[in-house]
Amino acid sequence: GMLLSEHIRLVAAFDHRHIFLDPTPDAARSFAERRRMFALPRSSWDDYDRALISEGGGVYARTAKSVPVSPQVRAALGLGDDVTELSPPDLVKAVLQAPVDLLWNGGIGTYVKAASESDASVGDKSNDAVRVLGADVRARVVGEGGNLGVTQLGRIEYALHGGKINTDAIDNSAGVDCSDHEVNIKILLDAVVSSGELPSADRDPLLASMTDEVARLVLADNIAQNDQLGMSRASAPQMLGVHRRLIATLVTHHGLDRKLEALPTEAEFGRRAQAGGGLTSPELATVMAHAKLALKQDLLATELPDSDFFAARLPGYFPEPLRDRFGAAIRGHSLRREIVATMLANEAIDNGGITYAYRLAEDAGASSTDAIRAYAAVTEIFELHDVWSRVGTADVPSEVSDLLMLQSRRVLDRASRWFLSNRPQPIAVGAEISRYSSEFRRLAPKVPGWLRGHHVTDLERRSRSAIADGAPRELALEVYRLLDLFCLLDIIDVADICERDGEEVAELYFALDAHLGIDWLLTAVSDLARGDRWHSLARLALRDDLYGSLRSLTLEVLVGGEPDETPEEKIDYWESTNASRLARSRSALAEIFESGTLDLATLSVAARQVRSMVRGVGTRSEVGR
């Protein structure tokens, strides 16, 4: 690990034999010396050239009675001025608690635990004398190149005190992923060798030639997973209630052992909620792993991995030389269902969030396969993979990238629920993509020109923070405009029902939206606190009701107008033929707008008033015009 960057300033290290101290290291010289030592057949810190160690440092045997502590070492390790010598165990503790940027575990042993754990419970007696508490680790970040360097409770304690840490499973996941690819590739190669498609002598050279591409595939998986954890950390306090319910569901239905995995008890969830906190990164990593496993198991219990649409993803798991030469063998791979299910579970959770499938189950009664079908349809129609790629490659701080990704998920969630509520089930993914994609892409570039009033100012308001923090303006507007594209699903449907041009429908839709103040109400609904599950469901119901009313109103006004009329002319005619009834609703809405009180109760009344406009609205044929 210490050879991965030439800029590392390694101030201290230890193994079971020696303690290495270099309080003010020269990065270039120390890197070269570490590289030299690494190339030796056998080496220890005792092989380090003492002439390259900065003033006050040295290499000391852990068998020594005591080790002198220089002023330079005191400064590097954050020790008091009165500390002039330490025993080797105490010096190791000081190294573990040093105020540095990175504490890197690359060896064997468990060195950090929680205050609630005994040394005996850790099960590593040889390191009892040097083990420290997570709360006392002052490094900004802990990286785990080795396993079990920190107990899970120790990780959580460290994270709750502001430290940055995942889990050893996350930090070492590339190795596991690489092994999985290796096994699955070898299964394929053995099959094509047995069938005579590949001479046995060519097997190993072909395998070796794919090393770099396998590395790229593995790194892409791990980058996506770490990006997802970053987004989960960013939204953890707001999502605490959903995480709490997801964990309870995993315990009940998927065998998750809350105590074994060191996940919060119900009482601890209550304390975190009161303090405004969320799950820590180690806890999120654990929940993510179990959510992916549960989703994969659910998918494997169905025929979805065998469907042509989803099975078509299988070749993408393998390096290009195998895709080009052995397409049929890939389709017949003995673990094809497991690979497809794993790919789908990873992708949906990495891009949609840990709770994506769970929230669709909670909000819309969706099964795991329903969620995956919705995910596939929405990401294709809205071209979200292209958006995510642009966000991922943008030169912006990670906090800004997380913000943009979380914003993009809003349209994924909203459109997924729309497909689950408005289209025949189970979702015919390929057919739905064919139905919506072409018209969606034709209309989407024109939406900014149709936006009016509050939509325009709200877009600027919502994107302002990301732009101020360094996001390119066009990228920020593209991401925040995604929610304005959501209504194209309803617009395309209305155009299809009425056999009218999509542009005519869209112009009327946005004109009605602004004219009736529905855009303003939708923003107010989004600004409501999520609260508990019931408040969250109430927000969703309000939003769905408002969108449904706007869709119905657009349909009613449209069929009463002529294609060559402007949206304003259509709306004027509709209002003139329904004046007395609409007046009551408009009066009630005006009173709500003027009150400035935009809570769940008043917005529920407002949504009801908008819905009442739909009833009994006449068409021109009905009034004889």
Structural contact between residues 417 and 356, judged by C-beta atoms closer than 8 angstroms: no
Distance CA 333, CA 329 (A): 6
Positions of E strands within 15-128: 18-21, 58-61, 67-68, 85-86, 102-105, 112-113
Q: Where are the domains of the chain?
A: 12-171, 172-352, 355-486, 495-623
Instruction: Kindly state the tokens that stand for 270.
Output: 């209550």
pLDDT of 618 above 60: no
How confident is the model at residue 4, as a pLDDT? 85
How confident is the model at residue 622, as a pLDDT? 36
Mean pLDDT of 76-104: 97
Rg (CA), the chain: 30
Helix extents (H) in 312-397: 320-325, 327-331, 336-352, 356-364, 368-381, 384-393
Distance CA 372, CA 169 (A): 26
Distance CA 250, CA 544 (A): 28
- Give, in order, the Cα–Cα distances in Å from 189 to each of 180, 198, 209, 371, 456: 14, 8, 13, 34, 56
For all residues of the chain together, what is the average pLDDT? 94
pLDDT of 11 above 60: yes
Instruction: Kindly state the tokens that stand for 464.
Output: 């302002």
Instruction: Tell me whether strands 132-133 and 112-113 are parallel, antiparallel or unpaired.
Output: parallel
DSSP H or E run through 196: none
- Partnered with residue 12 across adjacent β-strands are 21
How confident is the model at residue 625, as a pLDDT? 33
Q: Amino acid identity of 618? A: G
Mean pLDDT of 343-351: 98
Distance CA 238, CA 354 (A): 13
Mean pLDDT of 81-94: 97
Distance CA 79, CA 400 (A): 37
pLDDT tens sequence across 560-602: 999 999 999 999 999 998 888 888 888 889 998 888 788 899 9
Q: Amino acid identity of 61? A: A
Lowest mean pLDDT among 232-236, 476-480, 516-520: 516-520
Q: Amino acid identity of 277? A: G
Mean pLDDT of 265-278: 95
Helix extents (H) in 211-335: 211-235, 240-254, 266-275, 281-300, 308-311, 320-325, 327-331
If DSSP codes are grouped into helix, strand and coil, which group holds residue 233?
A: helix
pLDDT of 453 above 50: yes
Closest residue by Cα to residue 136 from 90, 99, 169: 99
pLDDT tens sequence across 186-237: 999 999 999 999 999 999 999 999 999 999 999 999 999 999 999 999 999 9
Distance CA 224, CA 590 (A): 47
Please, which residues have CB within 8 angstroms of residue 281's CB and are 6 or more apart in sequence?
A: 159, 164, 165, 166, 229, 232, 233
Mean pLDDT of 259-272: 96
pLDDT tens sequence across 21-38: 999 999 999 999 999 999
DSSP 264: P
pLDDT tens sequence across 151-194: 999 999 999 999 999 999 999 999 999 999 999 999 999 999 99
How confident is the model at residue 496, as a pLDDT? 96
Lowest mean pLDDT among 84-93, 111-120, 451-460: 451-460
Q: How many CB atoms lie within 10 A of CB 484?
A: 20
Measure the N-to-C terminal CA separation of the chain; round to a whole number of Å: 80
Please, which residues have CB within 8 angstroms of residue 349's CB and are 6 or more apart in sequence?
A: 228, 288, 291, 292, 295, 356, 357
Structural contact between residues 534 and 475, judged by C-beta atoms closer than 8 angstroms: no
Residue 615 pLDDT grade (very low, low, confident, very high; cuts 50, 70, 90): low
How confident is the model at residue 576, as a pLDDT? 92
Query: Percent of the chain having pLDDT more than 70?
Result: 98
Angle at Cα 69 formed by Cα 66 and Cα 74, nearest 5°?
A: 140
Residue 623 pLDDT grade (very low, low, confident, very high; cuts 50, 70, 90): very low
Distance CA 139, CA 457 (A): 44
Residue 616 pLDDT grade (very low, low, confident, very high; cuts 50, 70, 90): low
Distance CA 316, CA 336 (A): 12
Distance CA 403, CA 407 (A): 6
Residue 617 pLDDT grade (very low, low, confident, very high; cuts 50, 70, 90): very low
